[in-house]
Amino acid sequence: MKPYTIDFDLLTGICKSGKVQPVQRRVSQMKMQFADPEAAQKAIDSGDPVLYEFSTLLNDEKKGTLAFGSTIIYPGKIGDEYYMTKGHFHTILDSAEVYYCLSGKGFMMMETPEGDVDLQEVHPGEALYVPGRWAHRSINHGTEPFVMLFVYPGDSGHDYGTIETKGYRKLVVERDGKPVMIDNPKWK
Ligand code: F6R
Ligand code: MN
pLDDT 10s digits, 126-140: 999 999 999 999 999
| The predicted structure's pLDDT at residue 36 | 96
Ligand 1 contact via 22 beta carbon (within 6 Å): no
Q: Which amino acid is at 60?
A: D
**What residue segments make up the domains of the chain, in order of their start?**
23-183
Atom of ligand 1 nearest to the CA of 138: 11
C-alpha dist (Å) from residue 108 to 7, 18, 43, 48: 25, 28, 24, 24
Q: How far is the CA of 185 from the centre of ligand 1 (A)?
A: 24
CA distance 64 to 110: 25
Q: How far apart are the first and last CA of the chain?
A: 44
Tell me the per-residue pLDDT of 48-104, one tens digit each, with 9 for 90 and over.
999 999 999 887 889 999 999 999 999 999 999 999 999 999 999 999 999 999 999
- The CATH architecture one would assign to domain 23-183 is Sandwich (2.60)
Asked if residues 128 and 101 have their Cβ atoms less than 8 Å apart, the reply is yes
C-alpha dist (Å) from residue 109 to 4, 96, 142: 33, 15, 15
Ligand 1 contact via 138 beta carbon (within 6 Å): yes
| The predicted structure's pLDDT at residue 188 | 86
